[in-house]
Amino acid sequence: MITELGHYALILALATALVQSLVPLIGAQRNDAGMMAVGPMAANLSFVLVAFSFLTLTYAYVISDFSVLNVVENSHSMKPMLYKITGVWGNHEGSMLLWVLILVLFSALVANFGRNLPDKLRANVLSAQAWITVAFLLFILLTSNPFMRLANPPAEGNDLNPILQDLGLAIHPPLLYLGYVGFSISFSFAIAALIEGRLDAAWARWVRPWTLVAWTFLTAGISMGSYWAYYELGWGGWWFWDPVENASFMPWLAGTALLHSALVMEKREALKVWTVLLSILTFSFSLLGTFLVRSGVLTSVHAFATDPARGVFILGILAVFIGGAFALFGLRATALRTGGLFAPISREGALVLNNLFLTTATATVLVGTLYPLLLEATTGTKISVGAPFFNLTFGPLMIPLMIAVPFGPLLAWKRGDLMGATQRLYAAIGISILVGLVVMAFTTDEPVLAAAGMAIGAFVILGALTDLVNRSGAGRLPAATAWARFKGLPRSAFGTAFAHAGLGITMIGVVAASVYSTEHVSAMNAGDTVEAGGYTVRFEGLRDVQGPNYTAKSGLFVISRGGAEVARVTSAKRFYPARQMPTTEAGIRTFGASQLYVALGDMESNGKLVVRVWWKSWVTFIWYGTVLMMIGGALSLSDRRLRIGAPRKAARPARTAEAVA
């Protein structure tokens, strides 16, 4: 009964979204306040209905209601409660419901927190949001209904894919969707601006916080997913350039570009048309990602149960929204007046350069992801594009961008002084070169490029610090004054510094983990040892473990250094009988920034166990860096200017304009 209510609520939500998609829009055209007021009401109602629907499905999972097909296929009565709940979105239907839940959540947030938006803009934004909601609710109801009942319920469910029975599933998809779907807001703002033909600095000021929220969550989602894949799959890799990873990375790259171009628009009223285009592009990449993952056009660790009807449906959504948005853009973009002249060497110029690199990088990722699909569709030839392709194309684009990052914040708006910026960076440049030389001195056989990568990473971090030092006037002014100025810096200045420093730290982690890590595969008896990263790993033996819904063979390893024991790790291979599937539970121990990673292989006929031990140099920097980026996003979001969010004209005293961003 409750399940049917959930299904019914979803149908009601569709009806509400249909109303929301038209009434406020017409109201905005006719300047009818009553019709426009329908928008926020409908947005809140849709949210309540979809949330109720989602809760009923969760309830069916919690009580293991095996008369619901979706529960049978993805749950098991013996599964721990946490995985019963997370299992709701561990499958195609449930995760689409979560997707829509987050979409209507964002609509409701705009409805409730966007009170200072002009009525027309808010009405148009809510209508545009509702179009997306209608499309995806139809998709769920017509092709992916999670509330399907079974006439003859089985006594036990098929269990959730064991790889997904992990805390990662509780965190990764919700964060990722908050990011993916969050970009729908900037998309809807862009559509609303095009419909109204009005676009000014205030628009950018309203869009930026939403973009920041989405970007911060997407950063968290991707980084969490990467760490999950790293520890769960047992391959020791943290990024595979898998098409589905790329699908989340493209909106991230485009969203990063959008954050920066919206800044130019907010401060200088320049790059208007480009910012609108990027808003559309970023969400288009989110939709493309949804299509790639759900349609079954590619093989990946993320493949969901596929059904041709779903692929065609999402392709339809993709065509309508991306095609429609670009058609609207083509029709109305010329109506948007451009403004804000600037010299090539200026803050704006630096941000344009940032956008050029980021969008080109997005394009290379897009080519690498779609080329195999297009080639197979047109010629039937099957190919795969792997890491070497991306390293050759994406890598060279990132290096100059990274070098440029520290210069950007040091250049003035309108007309900058490159020599002056360089002089301020002398210390950072000097220390970075030193870092590169030290790395080269200590690593004899490794490529010079790796040392250069470490130096560039250091330069990005030091550059971020230089910006803060420079703004506070440390060294130029008395210490007390400088400290007072430092404390008085806007939060967004710290946001920029944290995010940029995080980028540098991630880069150092990527380079170090790729180049200086070592791998040791060996067949071991109890008592055998392996040397890795200066540590000795001794295999103590295997024992059997019985889990709630699995059995496991768990190996104990003692890690010692210089003869003294420093740590013990267990590494296991689990077997889930319901799905007849094994999983690897790697044993990981962190030493400083590096990790020792132990994964079990198969038992050989002679009784030896194949064990893979990695020394992952500085690998944790990859994720520490992303955490800093998230902190940077949160700090920028808490900036007074965005917190108050009052639509003020960009014309403010020059000193403030220089200090922010």
Partner 1 sequence: MNRKQKRLSIIAGGAIFLAAAAALVMSALNDQIVFFSSPTDIHSRPVSPDTRIRLGGLVEEGTVIRGEGAKVTFKVTDTNDSVEVTYNGILPDLFREGQGVVAEGIYDPASRVFTADTILAKHDENYMPKEVADALKAQGVWQEGEGGPKPASANN
- The site for partner 1 (CB under 8 A) is made up of 72-73, 154, 156-158, 161, 234-235, 296, 298-301, 303-306, 341, 344, 352, 356, 360, 363-364, 367-368, 371-372, 381-386, 388-389, 392-393, 396-397, 521-523, 573, 578-584, 599, 601-602, 604-605, 610, 612
Maximum separation of any 2 CA atoms in the chain, in Å: 82
- Name the minimum Å distance from CB 606 to partner 1: 9
Can you tell me the distance from the alpha carbon of 69 to that of 261, in angstroms, rounded to the nearest whole number? 47
Other CB atoms within 10 A of residue 593 CB: 18
Q: Which is nearer to partner 1, 185 or 599 (CB)?
A: 599
Can you tell me the distance from the alpha carbon of 479 to that of 66, in angstroms, rounded to the nearest whole number? 69
- Name the minimum Å distance from CB 208 to partner 1: 24
57, 121 contact by CB (below 8 A): no
- Name the minimum Å distance from CB 405 to partner 1: 17
| Eight-class DSSP state of 563 | T
- Name the minimum Å distance from CB 306 to partner 1: 7
Can you tell me the distance from the alpha carbon of 645 to that of 636, in angstroms, rounded to the nearest whole number? 12
Q: Which is nearer to partner 1, 492 or 584 (CB)?
A: 584
Bridge partners, 572 (sequence order): 554, 585
Q: Which is nearer to partner 1, 72 or 191 (CB)?
A: 72
Tell me the C-alpha to C-alpha distance, in Å, between residue 301 and each of 24, 161, 225, 304.
42, 11, 12, 9
Write out the DSSP string of 298-309: S--TTPPP--HH
- Name the minimum Å distance from CB 164 to partner 1: 11
Q: Which is nearer to partner 1, 338 or 470 (CB)?
A: 338
Q: Work out the angle between the directed axes of helices 347-379 and 243-268 (0-180°, nearest 10).
A: 150
- Name the minimum Å distance from CB 254 to partner 1: 16
One-letter identity of residue 535: Y
Q: Which is nearer to partner 1, 465 or 523 (CB)?
A: 523
- Name the minimum Å distance from CB 194 to partner 1: 23
Q: What angle do CA 38, 126, 96 make, to 5 degrees?
A: 115
Q: Which is it for strands 535-546 and 594-603: parallel, antiparallel or unpaired?
A: unpaired
- Name the minimum Å distance from CB 280 to partner 1: 19
Q: Which is nearer to partner 1, 283 or 357 (CB)?
A: 357
- Name the minimum Å distance from CB 537 to partner 1: 15
Q: Work out the angle between the directed axes of helices 2-30 and 119-143 (0-180°, nearest 10).
A: 150
- Name the minimum Å distance from CB 170 to partner 1: 21
The count of residues in the chain is 661
Q: Which is nearer to partner 1, 250 or 435 (CB)?
A: 250
Q: Which is nearer to partner 1, 344 or 478 (CB)?
A: 344
Cβ contacts of 655 within 8 Å, gap of 6 or more: none
Can you tell me the distance from the alpha carbon of 205 to that of 354, in angstroms, rounded to the nearest whole number? 20
User: Both tokens of residue 654?
Assistant: 């020059």
Q: Which is nearer to partner 1, 339 or 475 (CB)?
A: 339
Which phi and psi angles does 610 have, rounded to 5°?
-80, 125
Q: Which is nearer to partner 1, 483 or 575 (CB)?
A: 575
Task: Sheet with 609-616: list strands edge to edge.
Answer: 518-524, 609-616, 594-603, 587-591
Other CB atoms within 10 A of residue 554 CB: 17
- Name the minimum Å distance from CB 6 to partner 1: 23
Exposed / middle / buried, residue 607 (Cβ in 10 Å: 0-12, 13-18, 19+)? exposed
477, 486 contact by CB (below 8 A): no
Q: Which is nearer to partner 1, 73 or 446 (CB)?
A: 73
Q: Which is nearer to partner 1, 338 or 536 (CB)?
A: 338
225, 248 contact by CB (below 8 A): yes
| Eight-class DSSP state of 197 | T
Exposed / middle / buried, residue 388 (Cβ in 10 Å: 0-12, 13-18, 19+)? exposed
- Name the minimum Å distance from CB 383 to partner 1: 5
Q: Which is nearer to partner 1, 184 or 571 (CB)?
A: 571
- Name the minimum Å distance from CB 368 to partner 1: 8
